[in-house]
Structure 1
Amino acid sequence: MAKILPFRAVRPTRDKVGLVATRAYQFYDQVGRDHRMAQNPFSFLHIINPGYKFQKEITGKQRFELVRNRYQEFKDDGVFIKEEQPAFYVYRIVDREKNTFCGIVASASVEDYENDVIKKHEDTLQDRETLFTEYLDTVGFNAEAVLLTYKNSDEIKSILNNVMSDRAEYEFTTTYRDTHHLWPVTDTPTIEKLQHAFASMNSLYIADGHHRSSSSALLSKNHSKNQESYRSFMSFLIPESELLIYEFNRLIKDLNGLSKEGFLIALDSKFRIENRGTTPYKPSKKHHFNMYLDGEYYSLYLRHSLRSFNTPLDRLDTHILYETVLKPILGIIDLRNDDRIVYVDGRRDITSLTDRIDNQEYAVSFGMLPVTINELKEIADAGLKMPPKSTYIEPKLRSGVTIYEF
């Protein structure tokens, strides 16, 4: 059974929320980040990028301490308030394409994470876990929820619709034309109904935020188990039907010493290859791949003799590409750390790939269909792990709207 808890979020005042809320730090380049900070003194970027105040790049423990200081200043200035009583937060996003995401910001259980009630589909890096654990321990808060998904529930949907029939506490639109709404839920009957609905579920699945959840689990080991705030982590729970899952395309810097002809011959043992010329090609079936090489598009169809799969991971296209091309032909073993490979999420136009090859920045690109929610769940249920950058998943919550304090 899955356990979710209400918590006393720290959040912006209603008049400031649209100014405070930001995308995650890594989504900005330095020029864009500095521009936003220069124009907006309330941006949450001032907290997570404290070196801006000193016109200096600051890293490590010193940065973490300055983040804590900036956060306290926002609280002292009345930009943030703390909820008077524990609450769930119904959160709805309508993006520029009119996709709607509606879920619950809540506290999820570290114990559920440790006992595999909350299931994972990606490996984590120990260095990143350790660094983020130190960050959380120093700053004393977390502003980015782990995205969890659950099987569609008519009961939960009905409860959320009832909550959303009232006026939202927050309603703001970003410069990316996404509209955000938030409703705090503090009444005991509604909280208990939601908890009961989740308690009937055997599993929740991490869609995005493996390092955030693993770091929260590590943090809990460093503190007394009687401190409930350390035994939980902030999550955004949405039904699986509302997830948008995109592929990650692969850009490779070189052909590992092979000529174009030698590379195509090597591929021929694994795939039926068709040259599409200059006509863009995107696959329409699983185990079909697109490739762009030397100004031309190719379709690659995995040969039927190689379609004997023993596990859900064996059937996954990102794994197939790794086992048939990236590792044996191109010599890329470490998908996380090899600087010969770069990942580009599938939301972007195909020209974002082809231009970088035409400019000779990279030699070849590969694309495939997105992973499905069923594939994600099958791999997590089997205790297996996808290759890195197998999925790009939306929605992405704004930082600074709800903050979880330890």
Structure 2
Amino acid sequence: MAKIIPFRAVRPSRDKVGLVASRSYQDYSVEELKFQLEHNPFSFLHIINPGYKFQKEISGTKRFQLVKNRYLEFREEGIFIQDELPSYYIYKTISRDQIYCGIIAATSVDDYDKNVIKRHEDTISQRENLFKDYLQTVGFNTEPVLLTYPDSEVINKITDEVRSQRPEYEFSSLNRDTHYLWVVNDPKLTEQIREEFEKMDCVYIADGHHRSASSSLLAAESRENNPKHTGEEPYNYFMSYLIAESNLRLYEFNRLITDLNGMSKKEFLMQLDEWFRIENRGSELYKPSKKHHFSMYLDGEFYSLYLRKTMYEFTDPLSALDPYILFVKVLKPLLGIEDPRNDLRISYLPGRQESFEVKKAVDEEHFAVGFGMLPLTIEEVKQIADAGLTMPPKSTYIEPKLRSGLTIYEF
């Protein structure tokens, strides 16, 4: 039974929302970031990059406090305003090739701790604690965890009804996406949404494992420090964007390796031959078309690698995942990649980009070899989560990617 409730979001005023909302900080090039900070005083980037005000790079706990200060300034100036009533927020984006629509809500930390909110990736404790300290200092969260749930006719009907009305926000971003947001605070509708989510045995994290884990740490620490803890305090929840499984888009991550671990091209191909049937595809761009098929770009040529299934044993859902197969049969034993999360010899390229980008990276001699595969399905991800297993890092690149500063959850 998933506890997913409305909350009083802090949001940009309607006239400034298009200027405030930003992409994730990491998505900006140095030039783009500089332009936004110089020419857009309302950008949320000013909050998460507070050192710009002092023309100084600031990090650590000092940065956390300055982030809070910049945020309070936006609140004091009326750029951000908090809703009076607890609400759900229906958020829709239209891009050139996809439409996404989901519900922004507060989700229960207890559900995360009890595996009602299921996860499929490992987290790094250092990152968990760092973000927990950040949340504790700034007192708000602006990046929703992306959750997915089984398609629901009831929720679809409610969102269709709400979307027939004028949205609170309607604006376009520089990448030509159009954004809409509706505020749902009618008691009848909010109760219907809450009850429908309560009927679900579980929901799944699609993106945001570290944010969820950090919120759990923050809640545990806050409970210990609050002798009057009731379970309903804001720290018992974290902000999420819930989207139906059918509306989620999963892409693969290509793998790029800097060297062949001391082997020649011929030696490497001979080693691969034990586990894969190899075909030289020449210089023509090649992408795999079936599960357990891989593409490889090496020394100016594409190869197809077909797993020899008679040699490989499938023992659980994890063993059947292509990113796992590539890791245990190629990256680790042949190329010496022991830690794919931290090894500097491996890089990842989202499969949303073309195979040409893998070719380009190798041709420019930044990498020696590149591998591609088909994207995982949502069913594969759920099987891993249901079995209590974890996937290799960078197994999925999931969309939608959400903007910062659109709705903010205060603790």
TM > 0.5 between the two? yes
Determine whether 1:243 maps to 2:248.
yes
Q: State which drifts further: 348-357 or 47-56.
A: 348-357
Whole-Å separation in 2 of the counterparts to 1:49 and 1:369:
37
What residue in structure 2 maps to residue 55 of structure 1? 55
Q: How far did 1:114 drift?
A: 0.4
What residue in structure 2 maps to residue 37 of structure 1? 37
What residue in structure 1 maps to residue 80 of structure 2? 80
What residue in structure 2 maps to residue 341 of structure 1? 346
Whole-Å separation in 2 of the counterparts to 1:16 and 1:377:
39
Q: TM-score, normalised by structure 2?
A: 0.97
Determine whether 1:159 maps to 2:164.
no
Whole-Å separation in 1 of the counterparts to 2:192 and 2:255:
44
Q: Is the 8 A contact 2:285 2:356 kept in 1?
A: no
Determine whether 1:271 maps to 2:270.
no
Whole-Å separation in 2 of the counterparts to 1:348 and 1:51:
33
The gaps in structure 2 that reach 5 residues or longer are 224-228
Whole-Å separation in 1 of the counterparts to 2:341 and 2:64:
25
Whole-Å separation in 2 of the counterparts to 1:74 and 1:218:
28
Determine whether 1:324 maps to 2:329.
yes
1:314-368 per-position Cα deviation (integer Å, ceiling 9, x unaligned): 0000000001000000010101110000001011122222112111111000000
Q: Runs of 4+ in structure 1 displaced over 2 angstroms?
A: 224-227
Matched residue type, 2:52: Y
Q: Is the 8 A contact 2:331 2:337 kept in 1?
A: yes
Q: How far did 1:307 drift?
A: 4.0
The gaps in structure 1 that reach 5 residues or longer are none
Whole-Å separation in 2 of the counterparts to 1:31 and 1:214:
33
Whole-Å separation in 2 of the counterparts to 1:246 and 1:18:
28
Whole-Å separation in 2 of the counterparts to 1:152 and 1:85:
27
SS at match of 1:304: coil
Q: How far did 1:308 drift?
A: 2.7
Q: Is the 8 A contact 2:123 2:209 kept in 1?
A: yes
SS at match of 1:366: strand
Determine whether 1:311 maps to 2:330.
no
What residue in structure 2 maps to residue 96 of structure 1? 96
Whole-Å separation in 2 of the counterparts to 1:351 and 1:371:
21
What residue in structure 2 maps to residue 202 of structure 1? 201
Whole-Å separation in 2 of the counterparts to 1:56 and 1:30:
15
Whole-Å separation in 2 of the counterparts to 1:136 and 1:30:
25
Matched residue type, 1:15: D
What residue in structure 2 maps to residue 213 of structure 1? 212
Whole-Å separation in 2 of the counterparts to 1:126 and 1:186:
37
Alignment counterpart, residue 366 of structure 2, candidates 357, 361, 365: 361
1:345-392 per-position Cα deviation (integer Å, ceiling 9, x unaligned): 011122222112111111000000001000000000000000000001
Q: Is the 8 A contact 1:96 1:176 kept in 2?
A: no
Determine whether 1:116 maps to 2:115.
yes
Whole-Å separation in 2 of the counterparts to 1:361 and 1:147:
33
1:14-33 equivalent positions in 2, closer than 5 A:
14-33=14-33
Count of aligned pairs between the two proteins:
405
Whole-Å separation in 2 of the counterparts to 1:244 and 1:233:
23
1:286-301 equivalent positions in 2, closer than 5 A:
286-301=291-306
Whole-Å separation in 2 of the counterparts to 1:370 and 1:164:
31
Q: Percent of aligned positions with the same letter in both sequences?
A: 60
Whole-Å separation in 2 of the counterparts to 1:46 and 1:297:
44
Whole-Å separation in 1 of the counterparts to 2:27 and 2:60:
20
Q: How far did 1:55 drift?
A: 1.6
Whole-Å separation in 1 of the counterparts to 2:311 and 2:101:
41
Whole-Å separation in 2 of the counterparts to 1:268 and 1:58:
51
Whole-Å separation in 2 of the counterparts to 1:16 and 1:331:
51
Q: Is the 8 A contact 2:286 2:355 kept in 1?
A: no
1:187-225 per-position Cα deviation (integer Å, ceiling 9, x unaligned): 111011001101110010000000000000000011134
Tell me how large the CA RMSD over aligned residues is.
Answer: 0.8
Q: Is the 8 A contact 1:67 1:139 kept in 2?
A: yes
Whole-Å separation in 1 of the counterparts to 2:67 and 2:195:
37
Q: State which drifts further: 221-230 or 152-161.
A: 221-230
Whole-Å separation in 2 of the counterparts to 1:20 and 1:46:
9
